[in-house]
Structure 1
């Protein structure tokens, strides 16, 4: 199993807005686990956590998502201008032992 952390460092005042948006958009995604916001450490951080059986399942989920044009269109509409809410981001992929 692998765990994926998509990490966003938000502009001040936008972390809770971005977390709510991700939670809404990811509600029907079976791989979605949690949305995390910081309580200590670096400020204004939002982490979207997802879980997959292996790396091939992770890649397949992206391929499947890109094939579903209607789902992609709805997501783009909901996520319009979300990039205005954060400064930078990164992705971390962990293997669970």
Structure 2
């Protein structure tokens, strides 16, 4: 199993707003595990945690974002403006043993 952390460092005051946007926009996404906001450590972070059976499954999951389906249109509408809420980000991919 593969666990992916997409980490966003938000502008001050935007972490909870971005977390809510992700929760709404990713609703129904079977890979989504959790949306996290920091309580300790670096400030203003939102971490989206997803899980996949393999790296191949992770790579294949990106194909659905290229589709012009109703689900993708709904997600795009829910996520509108999210780029303005964060400064930078990173991705961590872990293998579960």
- Scaled by the length of structure 1, the TM-score of the pair is 0.94
For 2:91 and 2:64, locate their aligned partners in 1 and report how far apart those are by CA, in whole Å: 20
Name 1:82's counterpart in structure 2. Answer: 82
Query: Which stretches of structure 1, 4 residues or longer, exceed 3 Å deviation after superposition?
Result: none
For 2:76 and 2:67, locate their aligned partners in 1 and report how far apart those are by CA, in whole Å: 14
Give the number of aligned pairs. Answer: 97
**Matching of residues 2-81 of structure 1 within 5 Å:** 2-81=2-81
For 2:90 and 2:82, locate their aligned partners in 1 and report how far apart those are by CA, in whole Å: 15
Unpaired runs of 5+ in structure 2? none
Root-mean-square deviation over aligned CA pairs: 1.1
Unpaired runs of 5+ in structure 1? none
Q: How big is the shift at 1:68?
A: 4.5
Q: How big is the shift at 1:78?
A: 1.4
Q: How big is the shift at 1:69?
A: 2.9
For 1:68 and 1:2, locate their aligned partners in 2 and report how far apart those are by CA, in whole Å: 27
Matched, 1:93 2:82: no
- Scaled by the length of structure 2, the TM-score of the pair is 0.94
